[in-house]
Amino acid sequence: MPEGPDALSVAFRAVSFVLLLNAAGIPIFIAVFGHLLPDSLPAIAKLGWGLAIGALVFVAGHHALEGARMAGEMGGVVDPAMQAMTLRSSEGAVFGLRMVGLVLIAVGLRRGALAVGITGAILATAAFTLTGHTSVTPYRPAAAALLTFHLLVVAFWLGSLWPLYLVAGREPPHRAAHVIDAFSRVAAWVVPVILLAGVGLTVLLVPSWAVFRQPYGQLLLAKVALFAVLMALATLNKWTFGPACAKGRTRAFKQALAIEYVLICIVLAITATLTTFYSPEAA
């Protein structure tokens, strides 16, 4: 089990992933569905701004802890030499691009400039391609494109859950049901892309089937299992819980959204662990 700086670093990494992708998805959600949400739109924009600010804090915290991981002790957090070394590494480029992307998301949501917010979302998600397994594969251009697209769809899904929760509670039943149906129709096309892009990345990154007997492959399989549960919940929302919102029955829909949110957070925590401690080449 990881201890000290490693344990704290992966915890900050996991929370930063959740907050960053959540914040990145909200300007996308507003761009697609905002015109349908006169009552809840200000609250959704405020939520996205708060998530972006929270993500900035945890991204900065995770970056500081990289110095501690390099030093092997928490003193690395305040060691100028360790921090300078981290900034000069690929992690420094990731940190800078994520921070810029999150600032653009926050500014775009605060000022109603969706183009700025969406630009920030693309930059923040593209930063994931600058380090990790996709940055060292011989198929880097294809892997980077797949990863960016994969994460943008994850951001759209994750970033839609809280807004839909707000919609179910703040909009009139007929309007809430209309928005939920519109989201379900879009999600039915784009969310399966998460699996397709994930399969493509696995083909590019995993050297052999033997990987699936090692921790790296087992964590990948855990992510696939959780994705299957998420798809089952999404199906229930589309055909059962969502339509019930038209009659004011929103409880089951809200509960399903909460479960989806928790499961995606678990998937991202697995991803943070996977990308911190394991490699397909070493598996």
| Higher-confidence position of 208 and 151 | 151
Task: Write down how long the chain is.
Answer: 283
**Model pLDDT, residue 21:** 98
**Two tokens, residue 115:** 């183009």
Q: Which residues contact 83 (CB under 8 A, 6 or more apart)?
A: 64, 67, 76, 77
pTM: 0.95
Which of these, 193, 180, 195, 186, lies nearest to 247 by C-alpha position? 180
**For the CA atoms of 122, 135, 63, 104, what is the dihedral angle to 10 degrees?**
-10
Q: What is the pLDDT averaged over residues 112-124?
A: 97
**Model pLDDT, residue 279:** 81
Residue boundaries of the structural domains of the chain: 4-277
Give the N- to C-terminal CA distance of the chain in Å, as an integer: 17
pLDDT tens figures, 6-37 = 889 999 999 999 999 999 999 999 999 999 99
pLDDT tens figures, 41-100 = 999 999 999 999 999 999 999 999 988 888 888 888 888 888 888 888 889 999 999 999
pLDDT tens figures, 230-282 = 999 999 999 999 999 999 999 999 999 999 999 999 999 999 999 888 887 65
